[in-house]
Amino acid sequence: MPYQGVNVKTIKRFIAGNGNASKSEVIEAVKEKGFLPRDDNESDALALIFYVMNFSKDFNTLKIP
């Protein structure tokens, strides 16, 4: 299965507008999208999902084996 990493600063810049955003800033940015993450791990996961959905041309055709 192909894998591509994404730098954490890239995700933070995408979701919060600042590559050096704090955990609380990322949580707030995710909340602004209408989600209520339980903790910083969940907000990080949601931020990554939003990033992939935004930049992946094949997102709708991704299949989990």
Would you say residue 14 has pLDDT above 50? yes
Q: What average pLDDT does this structure show over 48-65?
A: 72
So what's the pLDDT on residue 29?
96
Q: What average pLDDT does this structure show over 48-59?
A: 81
So what's the pLDDT on residue 3?
78
The DSSP annotation for 3-57 comes to -----HHHHHHHHHS-TT--HHHHHHHHHHTT---SSHHHHHHHHHHHHHHHH-T
Distance CA 58, CA 2 (A): 13
Would you say residue 42 has pLDDT above 90? yes
Question: Residues 6 or more apart from 22 whose CB is under 8 A from it?
Answer: none
